[in-house]
C-alpha cells in the first residue's frame, strides 16, 4: 500500500510541476506570440486555460495531502519531512486557490473595464493598467514560488526516508 501511495503522490507532484512549466514556458509565450491572435482572443484563451491550470494545483494539493498524510501515519515517511511536505502542499494549494478565485477574476475585471473604455473611444486608464500589471507580477511571482516549492517537495521525496 505504501508503494502505491508513494506512486500516487509522485505522479501528482510531477503532473503539477509539469503543468506549471508547460503553462509558463510553452502556453503563455505561444498565446502571446506576435501576430498569432488578436489581443481579445489572447485574453479569452488564457482565461480558459488558467482556470483549469489552477484547478490542477488545487486537486494536486488535496491528493498530495491525503497521500502524504497516509504515508506519515503508516510511518513510511519521516515525521519532520512529512510535516514539512504537508505544510508546503497546503500552502501551494492555498496559493492556487487564491489566484484562481480572487486574483484572476480581479485581473479579468480590470481587462474587461479597459476593453470597455477603448470600445467607447476613451483612452485606457493608466491606473487600471498599473493595477493589472501589479497583479500580473504578483501572480507570476507566486507561480514561481509554487514551482520552487514543488521542486523542494521532489527533493524531500528523494532525500527523506520514504519507504
Q: In the block, which residue shows the cell 491528493?
A: 63
Residue 51 contacts by C-beta under 8 Å, 6 or more apart in sequence? 100, 104
Domain tally, the chain: 1
Domain of residue 14: give its range: 2-159
What does the pLDDT read at residue 33?
Answer: 92
Could you tell me if 140 and 104 are in contact, meaning their C-beta atoms sit under 8 angstroms apart? no
DSSP string, 37-71: S-HHHHHHHHHHHHHHHHHHHHHHHHHHHHHHHHH
What does the pLDDT read at residue 163?
Answer: 58
Per-residue pLDDT of the chain (163 residues; tens, 9 = 90+): 889 999 999 999 999 999 999 999 999 999 999 988 988 888 889 999 999 999 999 999 999 999 999 999 999 888 888 999 999 999 999 999 999 999 999 999 999 999 899 889 999 889 999 999 999 999 999 999 999 999 999 998 888 766 5
SS3 162: strand
Q: In the block, which residue shows the cell 519531512?
A: 81
What does the pLDDT read at residue 39?
Answer: 82
What does the pLDDT read at residue 79?
Answer: 86
Amino acid at each position: 500500500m505504501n508503494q502505491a501511495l508513494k506512486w500516487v503522490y509522485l505522479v501528482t507532484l510531477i503532473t503539477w510541476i509539469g503543468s506549471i512549466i508547460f503553462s509558463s514556458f510553452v502556453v503563455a509565450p505561444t498565446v502571446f506570440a506576435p501576430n498569432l491572435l488578436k489581443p481579445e482572443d489572447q485574453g479569452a484563451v488564457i482565461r480558459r486555460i488558467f482556470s483549469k491550470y489552477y484547478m490542477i494545483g488545487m486537486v494536486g494539493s488535496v491528493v498530495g495531502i491525503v497521500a502524504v498524510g497516509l504515508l506519515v501515519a503508516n510511518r513510511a515517511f519521516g515525521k519532520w519531512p512529512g510535516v514539512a511536505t504537508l505544510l508546503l502542499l497546503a500552502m501551494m494549494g492555498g496559493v492556487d486557490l487564491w489566484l484562481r478565485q480572487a486574483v484572476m477574476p480581479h485581473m479579468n475585471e480590470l481587462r474587461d473595464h479597459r476593453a470597455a473604455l477603448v470600445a467607447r473611444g476613451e483612452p485606457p486608464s493608466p491606473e487600471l493598467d498599473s493595477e493589472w500589471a501589479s497583479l500580473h507580477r504578483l501572480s507570476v511571482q507566486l507561480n514561481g514560488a509554487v514551482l520552487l516549492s514543488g521542486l523542494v517537495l521532489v527533493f524531500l521525496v528523494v532525500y527523506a526516508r520514504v519507504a
